[in-house]
Chains A and B, each alone.
Chain A
Amino acid sequence: MTQYRGLDKPKGRGFFLFWKAMFVAAMLALVAFFWVASSSVEYIWRWNRVPQYFWVNEAADVRAEAEGDVTIIDRQGNEQRVVVRDASGEEHPHMLPGEGTVLVSTGDFAYRGDVLGRYQLNKPGILLEGLWITLEVSVLAIIGGIVIGVVTGLCRISINPMLRWGSIAYIEIIRGSPLLVQIFLWYFVVGTLINALLEHVGLGGISPLWYGVMALALFTGAYVAEIVRAGIQSVHRGQMEAARSLGMSYAQAMRKVILPQAFRRIMPPLAGQFISLIKDSSLLGVIAIRELTKATREVVTTSLQPFELWIVCAVLYLVLTFTLSLFVQYLERRAIR
């Protein structure tokens, strides 16, 4: 362990140089292996086709949806409008963005399908959208998981049998069953019921995304609860006694003395749990949430470039998880005591 370097014979500079070099060599060997492997498979690599799924930047046409004279061309706020009046006198407005170019003038006759205007489409591609959904779902589920986990962890060590047994049952059931099944149950059973009830009272249904977040938060909460419990119990009992002997209530002592100390210790296991959560969010594709994995799968079926896209997908997950790791390390360093 790095902290205890002084306990053994001091290592010379050569030792560190040698092993750093070995590390670099091992990395290069790994890259070389994959290079050779990738060039030996019967596969045409087309990395240049990947960027279009990140950002769409292409010309798009606005085509006439009816046949008739172009009667009006004007601006409506940020957009431009081209109105086509058909033989029966009905007006058909066509909108295109303000910076697009209108290719017809008033009085022209337009056939159905004629290009009326053209503009540059410039928006995030499906992969970026998927990445965003994954990020959104993960952040919400992490927040939910922390809240559920802390509450359950506290119930777990409560003397109230209802709270204690309730939390144990929750933890065991959630940890012991497959996440995929839980997601199905939340969406198709609980979700159907809740949406039916909401409709009954005249409210709109809840989108699948929220059921997904709920399933992930409850799943993570069970693990966080055990981590929190272990963290609380690792704080020396003298701390609780000192706080209580000053007249603080159980809740005050927990909030001001025990939990702050526990949280510093459970940061690393929590980070591991949240990294798992980010990857587990890939299961949400089964309830029609188009997160990163589902987005990738869709792109693969249209592009027929599976290798590139799955590699890109993995790298994007890595970016998310690594960012989280760095963030937690930063928090840990800030709260060093």
Chain B
Amino acid sequence: MINATNVHKFFYTPDRLHALRGVSLSVAPAEVVVIIGPSGSGKSTFLRCLNRLEYADEGSILIEGRDILDPDCEINEVRAEVGMVFQSFNLFPHLTVLENLTLAQTTVRKRGKAEAEKKGMELLRKVGIAEKHSVYPDQLSGGQQQRVAIARALAMDPKAMLFDEPTSALDPEMVGEVLDVMKNLAREGMTMVVVTHEMGFAREVADRVVFMDQGSILEVGSPDRFFTAPEHDRTKLFLSQIL
């Protein structure tokens, strides 16, 4: 499904920063991979490389066999297949909740208005905020906004979903409602790559946990092994700080 091999990424603002130092990760269909690691370790950068919001400088990234680093790659087609959920929601503030869900369906998937709205309402029911379909995003709580953002990504019928700290900007009492939506998704067999600090979620849902530090993957393992018997000292230190 997702095949990243030896991915390097540099930033030049203003001096050269080697943000990803040869990251390799394969994600199988229906697999849930959770990425954890300290701040600045390159988790977001790696995730954003996977749908080319950042262009990786070296290595190869295949999404369903399509090489997205190939300049001729139809990146918009690939992005439509890979949903993304941001820490800061990034809902479109000038559109209603339902319009947020239908915009890309009509422009990218070329669905009719009625079909897009039907799909949109279905997904809003699924994330539990169907009654808010005609309000604007700033009238929603953070948890509700993030659920709308998830529904917006799902409206494209993606084959995989990327989550970048989807609950970090939320008040504690709203974290649960968003995680519940994500757990349901995982149960339905969605392929997911999730950057999060929610260790409970990682333990319960993840098939594999990846630990990143300073631009590389230090350790990969099943949640059981990862949380009970981490190999690296750096992982142990991180877990002791966060748990």
Contacts and interface: CB of A to CB of B under 8 A. Distances in A.
Interface of A: 236, 238-239, 241-249, 252, 256-257, 260-261, 264, 337
B81 to A, nearest CB: 8
Contacts of B103: 246, 248, 256-257
B140 interface: no
A260 B94 contact: yes
B104 A246 contact: yes
Interface string B83-97: 110101011111000
Contact of B80 (A239, A242, A247, A260): A247
A244 to B, nearest CB: 7
A245 B107 contact: no
SS class of chain A's interface: helix, strand, loop or mixed?
A: helix
B79 interface: yes
A242 B92 CA distance: 8
Interface in B62-113: 76-84, 86, 88, 90-94, 103-104, 107-108
Contacts of A249: 76
B94 A241 contact: no
Given A245-B153, A246-B83, A248-B107, 9 more contacts: A241-B90, A242-B149, A244-B76, A247-B76, A247-B77, A247-B80, A247-B108, A252-B107, A256-B103
Contacts of B84: 242, 245
B90 A239 contact: yes
A241 B85 CA distance: 10
B53 A241 contact: yes
A241 B94 CA distance: 16
A246 B92 CA distance: 12
B56 to A, nearest CB: 16
Contacts of A248: 76, 103-104, 107-108
A239 B92 contact: yes
A257 B93 CA distance: 9
Nearest to A264: B94
Nearest to A257: B92
Contact of B51 (A238, A245, A261, A337): A245
Given A249-B76, A252-B107, A337-B136, A244 B53 contact: yes
Contacts, number: 66
B153 A246 contact: yes
A168 B201 CA distance: 51
B119 interface: no
A238 B137 CA distance: 15
A246 B94 contact: no
B138 interface: yes
Nearest to B81: A247
A128 to B, nearest CB: 41
Nearest to B93: A337
B88 A238 contact: yes
B152 interface: yes
B79 A245 contact: yes
A252 B104 CA distance: 9
B32 interface: no
18 contacts: A236-B90, A238-B88, A242-B84, A242-B86, A242-B91, A242-B149, A244-B76, A245-B53, A245-B79, A245-B153, A246-B83, A246-B153, A247-B78, A247-B80, A249-B76, A256-B103, A257-B103, A337-B94
Contacts of B107: 248, 252, 256
Contacts of B156: 246-247
Nearest to B100: A242
A245 B149 CA distance: 12
B6 to A, nearest CB: 24
Contact of A261 (B80, B81, B93): B93
Contacts of A337: 93-94, 136, 138
A242 B108 contact: no
A261 B79 contact: no
A15 B153 CA distance: 53
A238 B152 contact: no
Contacts of B91: 242
A307 B59 CA distance: 78
A238 B76 contact: no
A231 B199 CA distance: 41
Contacts of A243: 92, 104
Contact of B108 (A241, A246, A264): A246
Interface string B38-62: 0000000000000101000000000
A257 B100 CA distance: 10
A14 B44 CA distance: 56
Contacts of B51: 245
A261 B104 CA distance: 17
B88, B94, B156 interface centre (most CB from chain A within 10 Å): B94
A178 B84 CA distance: 50
A249 B136 CA distance: 24
